[in-house]
Copies of this chain bind each other. A is one copy, B any other.
C-alpha cells in the first residue's frame, strides 16, 4: 500500500523511559524531515523516569513530505526500544456516544458538535434504551437501540448484549467510545476491544459515597461540593486514569433533586472537557496516571 503523504498538520506523540538527549533526538528527526514544530509539550515524570512528548508539525515550505509511517519509523529508530511512537493526522475524529436514559451529557456533546465547538464529530449514538432517540435524531444522527433485554423482557447474557453493542459501535469505526451516563457495567472483554479508547463520566463526592442514590447520600451528609470525574475505562470499574475533574459548590438549601441537577451541570462540563482533550490527542496514559497537555 502506498504510504500516505504528510499534508496539513500531523500530531507526533512519543512516550518512553527517560534518557539523555531525547528532545534533541526527536527534534533532529523532525528537522531532518523538514517539518516545522507548530507547538509542542514535553514532560518527564521524574518519579517514574518516563518521558512524554507531543508536537504538532507541518511541512516547511517546498519540502517533500515524508509518509507518516516513515516518520514514525525514523523516530522509533532514534529512541529506546520501549518507546511508543504515534504519528496521526490532526483532524476531526469520529466518536460513538453510548448513553442510557439521561440526556444531559449526551445533549452537551450533540450541541458542541452541532455548533462547531467539538474538535471531532459524533457519528452515532448507541443506547440500551430508546428514550434518547428523539434528542439524537433532532441532530440528524443515527441512533441505535440495543436493548439489554429480549422481546420477552428477559435480560440477555452480558456477553450477548455486548456483542450486539460492539457491532453497533464498530460499523461506525469510531476512534473513541464515549460513555455519557451509560449505566451498564462493561466486561473486561468488552473494554479490551477498545483499549484506552473508552472514556466515562461519573459523579464524585467528598467524602465518597458507595451504593445507590449518591445525591441523596450527599445531601444527608451535608456536603458543600459536588464533583465529577472523567476517566479512561479500564477493567477496574470507575477506577481508570483520570482525565478531568471539577466541582460545583452547593449548600444546605439544595434538596437532593437540586444536588442532582448541580451534578448534571458539572458532569456534562467535565465530560465535554475530557472528550475535547482526547479528540485533540492531548492525553497520555501511563499506569494509573494521565499526562494531559492542555
On A, residues with C-beta under 8 Å from B are 20-21, 23-24, 27-28, 30-31, 36-47, 60, 103-104, 107-108, 110-111, 114-115, 117, 135, 138-140, 204-208, 219-225, 227, 229, 239, 241-247, 249, 251-253, 255-256, 261, 264-265, 269, 288-292, 294
Contact = CB atoms under 8 A, between A and B. Distances in A.
Nearest to A27: B24
Of A37, A40, A264, A292, most B-chain CB atoms within 10 Å: A37
B103 A107 contact: no
Nearest to A224: B245
Contacts of A264: 117
A205 B245 CA distance: 11
Given A224-B245, A225-B245, A23 B37 contact: yes
A38 B40 CA distance: 17
Contact of A220 (B41, B221, B288): B288
Number of this chain's copies in the complex: 4
A135 B207 CA distance: 32
A210 B45 CA distance: 24
Contacts of A28: 24
Given A43-B39, A44-B39, A114-B135, A241 B222 contact: yes
Given A220-B289, A224-B245, A225-B227, A253 B43 contact: yes
A255 B43 CA distance: 12
Contacts of A117: 104, 261, 264-265
Given A24-B27, A117-B264, A206 B229 contact: yes
A193 B36 CA distance: 40
Nearest to A230: B224
A245 B204 CA distance: 14
A164 B135 CA distance: 32
B111 A252 contact: no
Contacts of A245: 206, 223-225
